Structure 1
Amino acid sequence: MLGVHYAVTADQEHALLAADGDDDAVGELIEDLEESWSDDTLKVDTDKAWDAIHRSLGDGSLDPDGAGYPLSHAVLGGRHLNEEYYVVYVSAAETREVATALSNVDRDFLRRRFDAIDDPGYAGARDDADFEYTWDNLLDVRAFYERAAAAGRAVIFTAM
């Protein structure tokens, strides 16, 4: 599954929250969002690194609450809007808190947590190249959250 974060407008946020509980409606809104997105500064693609990022920020699992808040909300923590695939909502207030928390994550912290991943469900190589891929993508996610927080936007994470 490929992961993407979007810093959504207030209108997009309201539409997604209104559709919560209707997987088809949420799916259509996400499809529209993907097709019409034009501001690359308020979007970040993490390819498959989102998995290792979430695991490394937390307890090594994909449990949405596996990390303490607010780091848990960098990827999978937050309000899940779809049962079929990941569509995770983080409010604008939470976005600011996630941005602050991510600013304190350094390379050594992430490396220790990455090296501790011991879940057979993790498909990554867990080698130096996999860590570098994870670290580089985390830096992109951190910069994205800083921009989203500065813009006062909520965030939607999707992985399909």
Structure 2
Amino acid sequence: MACRGYYTALLPQEASTLVKLTDVDSRLEFLDSLYASADADHRIQSVDKSWDAMHRCLCDGWLDAEHGDETKRACVLGARQLSDRPDWIISYVEPRLAKRVVAAIDGLTRDWFKEQYFSLDRNPPGVGVHRYEMYLVDTEIDFDYTWEYFVQVRDFYQRTVNRDLAIVFQVDQ
């Protein structure tokens, strides 16, 4: 699997349809059917593989939908899960939560993000936890890659909130 993630801002009818679908395959098919029109309307934001480190930076090293601050966690993986399959993540952020996410991530500085990134080899604390697999010594290029995508995601969230739209993050694993 490619593990390349992306966000889609959903128009109200699209969001309603997505959450009413009852199985993952139908949801994935529906999201795929939206891609071209959403992309033409600037409602797609790719994050390549940066989503993993980005989520961990926002959640003290954790890569799940339970740990870390609720609103920061919702930025990537930690919102309403629309997939129960281990090979797909579909995380749905309704418009009110998206506004809270914007407030939570708006003031995060490059210095703060960098501190979080370069502690991923130690976080989350504990024995037997799944830490970031990147070797973090001298990886300024990797940090810059993650930071630049985070800035794009932050801008995407702001534009989406200005339109009062829902957001879905999806990635295959």
Q: Which residue number corresponds to residue 144 of structure 1?
A: 156
Structure (1/2) with the larger helix percentage: 1
- How well do the aligned residues superpose, as a CA RMSD in angstroms? 1.6
Amino acid at match of 1:4: Y
2:120/2:131 contact within 8 Å kept: no
Query: Residue 156 of structure 1: SS of its match in structure 2?
Result: strand
* C-alpha spacing 1:83/1:110, structure 2 compared with 1 (3 Å): same
Could you tell me the percent identity over the aligned residues? 29
User: 4+ runs of 1 displaced by more than 6 Å?
Assistant: none
1:78-106: per-residue Cα shift (whole Å, max 9, x none)?
11111220111000001111111111111
Range with greater deviation from structure 2 (73-82 or 115-124) = 115-124
* C-alpha spacing 1:135/1:38, structure 2 compared with 1 (3 Å): closer
Gaps of 5+ in 1: none
Range with greater deviation from structure 2 (34-43 or 124-133) = 34-43
1:78/1:89 contact within 8 Å kept: yes
Q: Which residue number corresponds to residue 26 of structure 2?
A: 25
Q: Distance in 2 between matches of 1:68 and 1:151?
A: 25
Among candidates 97, 109, 112, match of residue 112 of structure 2:
109
Q: Distance in 1 between matches of 2:48 and 2:135?
A: 15
* TM norm structure 1: 0.92
Say how many residue pairs are matched: 159
Structure of larger gyration radius: 2
Amino acid at match of 1:104: G
Amino acid at match of 1:18: K
Q: Which residue number corresponds to residue 8 of structure 1?
A: 10
* TM norm structure 2: 0.85
1:42-93: per-residue Cα shift (whole Å, max 9, x none)?
2210000011100001121211122202111110011111122011100000
Q: Distance in 2 between matches of 1:156 and 1:99?
A: 15
Q: Distance in 2 between matches of 1:111 and 1:88?
A: 25
- Map 1:1-160; keep pairs closer than 5 Å: 1-19=3-21, 21-39=22-40, 41-84=42-85, 85-118=88-121, 122-126=132-136, 127-160=139-172
1:58/1:72 contact within 8 Å kept: yes
Q: Distance in 2 between matches of 1:17 and 1:53?
A: 25
Q: Distance in 2 between matches of 1:147 and 1:37?
A: 14
Query: Residue 70 of structure 2: SS of its match in structure 1?
Result: coil
| Cα deviation, residue 33, structure 1 | 1.9
Q: Distance in 1 between matches of 2:77 and 2:130?
A: 19
Gaps of 5+ in 2: 122-128
